[in-house]
């Protein structure tokens, strides 16, 4: 059996556009689609990263959280917790 060496530094990091395509294909929605087609419910501070905000949107009768960093949309996900908390 041959050994292959693996160094984490040899791996190319994904660009934001690659991450967005992967996220969109996995969830079916991009942050842009949620922001453009949804209704903004509230904006929260991100506890772990003070540079980021959590924007909660009502989109397709469900709560979606969009993480923003300045003007940049970072990621999105559907949230049962936000759906309950904001009665969406």
Residue 8 lies in a domain: no
pTM score over 0.85: no
pLDDT of residue 64: 96
Residue 63 lies in a domain: yes
Q: How many domains does the chain have?
A: 1
To the nearest 5 percent, what fractions of the chain are helix, strand and coil? 30, 35, 35
Tell me the per-residue pLDDT of 2-48, one tens digit each, with 9 for 90 and over: 555 555 455 555 566 565 555 554 557 789 999 999 999 999 999 98
**CB neighbours (10 Å) of residue 86?**
13
Residue 14 lies in a domain: no
Residue 2 lies in a domain: no
Residue 6 lies in a domain: no
DSSP H or E segment with residue 25? helix 16-27
What are the backbone dihedrals phi and psi of residue 45, each rounded to the nearest 5 degrees, phi first?
-80, 145
Owning domain of residue 58? 29-85
Residue 33 lies in a domain: yes
Q: Which two tokens stand for residue 5?
A: 């060496």
Residue 5 lies in a domain: no
What are the backbone dihedrals phi and psi of residue 35, each rounded to the nearest 5 degrees, phi first?
-65, -45
DSSP H or E segment with residue 13? none
């Amino acid at each position: 059996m041959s050994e292959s060496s693996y160094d984490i530094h040899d791996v190319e990091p994904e660009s934001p556009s690659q991450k967005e395509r992967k996220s969109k294909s996995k969830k079916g929605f991009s942050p842009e689609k949620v922001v453009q087609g949804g209704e903004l419910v509230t904006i929260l501070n991100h506890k772990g990263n003070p540079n980021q905000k959590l924007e909660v949107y009502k989109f397709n009768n469900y709560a979606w959280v969009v993480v923003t960093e300045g003007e940049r949309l970072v990621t999105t996900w559907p949230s049962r917790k936000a759906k309950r908390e904001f009665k969406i």
